[in-house]
Amino acid sequence: MKKYESGIKNWPKDERPREKLFKSGEHRLSDTELLAILLRSGTKGQSAIDLARRIIKEFKTFRNMSHTDIRRWKEFKGLGQAKIAQIKAAIEIGRRFREQEIKEKKIKITCAKDATAFLMPRMRDLKKEVFKVLLLDGQNRLIDIAEIEEGSVTQASPVIREIISLALQNFAAAIICVHNHPSGNPNPSEEDKDFTKELVSAGKIMQLKILDHIIFGNNNYFSFTDKGLV
């Protein structure tokens, strides 16, 4: 991208990020240009493009922006709460768009790898333990993804009765339970192992298949089924 000394409003129209988006499409914009549109304005002595370029240089990727502690953001010169909120909101919209797309397609899940392919971007960056249930029909097609409970940083305590009830209400034939370990280590605790055994037992009684319990770490995961524990 060319660098101009003056603010964006004085650039040639074809070089301005917003005008470029409408003319050529958002897919033609660089990460810096997209971010500049979100920022809308720069600060004294720097344009929105300059500020966006500094943010990209500092955080490298949009993923890093999504899970970086808010205190680090506030230390970044030129960013107020409004701009930080705009960036965080835009990244979250992207994640939700992807999740909604997955739900609408009713994808078929046959193994842990299928589930982690679309859940990893969400689960790996959560700061607290969050427990979700994938509800599946008789052909293992996704009906819905439900969040059962958000726990503390160290432990979530999902209620088995609530999980079974939710599955039955949605006419699910099978479920896959997932949660994350904010520490980044996906290996199950003794509590995780005990919970999984109890859930499988309850599922047998209610004729509900428990296909897996997956624990997410930092870009890795533990599957009870893959390890022969379900």
Write out pLDDT tens, residues 174-198.
999 999 999 999 999 999 999 999 9
54 and 143 within one domain: no
Q: Which residue has better confidence, 154 or 191?
A: 191
Is residue 152 in some structural domain? yes
What's the pLDDT score for residue 4?
A: 45
Where among 97, 131, 158 does a domain terminate?
97
Where among 67, 97, 127 does a domain terminate?
97
Determine the structural domain holding residue 53 and report its residue range: 8-97
Is residue 55 in some structural domain? yes
The average pLDDT across 17-25 equals: 86
Where among 97, 126, 158 does a domain terminate?
97
116 and 90 within one domain: no
Residue 12 has pLDDT above 60, yes or no: no
What's the pLDDT score for residue 195?
A: 93
pTM: 0.69
Give the closest residue to 133 by CA, choosing from 94, 110, 162.
162
Write out pLDDT tens, residues 78-112.
788 888 888 889 888 888 887 777 777 778 998 99
119 and 93 within one domain: no
Whether 166 and 135 have beta carbons less than 8 Å apart is answered as: yes
CATH code for the domain of 145: 3.40.140.10
Which residue do the tokens 């970086």 mark? 68
138 and 81 within one domain: no
Write out pLDDT tens, residues 40-76.
887 777 788 888 998 888 888 888 888 777 888 888 7
122 and 218 within one domain: yes
What's the pLDDT score for residue 154?
A: 60
Domain count, the chain: 2
Is residue 176 in some structural domain? yes
The string of DSSP letters for the chain reads ----SS-GGGS-GGGSHHHHHHHH-GGGS-HHHHHHHHH---BTTB-HHHHHHHHHHHH-SHHHHHHS-HHHHHTSTT--HHHHHHHHHHHHHHHHHHHHHHHHHT-B--SHHHHHHHHHHHHTT-SS-EEEEEEE-TTSBEEEEEEEEE--SS-----HHHHHHHHHHTT-SEEEEEEE-TTS--PPPHHHHHHHHHHHHHHHHTT-EEEEEEEE-SS-EEETTTTT--
Is residue 61 in some structural domain? yes
Q: How many other C-beta atoms lie within 10 A of the C-beta of residue 83? A: 22
| Cα separation values, 137 from 109, 110, 134, 208, Å | 10, 12, 10, 11
CA dist 65 and 84 (Å) reads 10
Residue 6 has pLDDT above 60, yes or no: no
134 and 64 within one domain: no
Q: Which two tokens stand for residue 183?
A: 């520490």
| Cα separation values, 50 from 36, 112, 155, 193, Å | 8, 43, 42, 50
Q: Which of 5-14, 122-131, 135-144 has the lowest mean pLDDT?
A: 5-14
The average pLDDT across 137-164 equals: 81
Apex CA 138: angle with CA 134 and CA 144, to 5°? 25
What's the pLDDT score for residue 228?
A: 95
Determine the residue type at 164: I
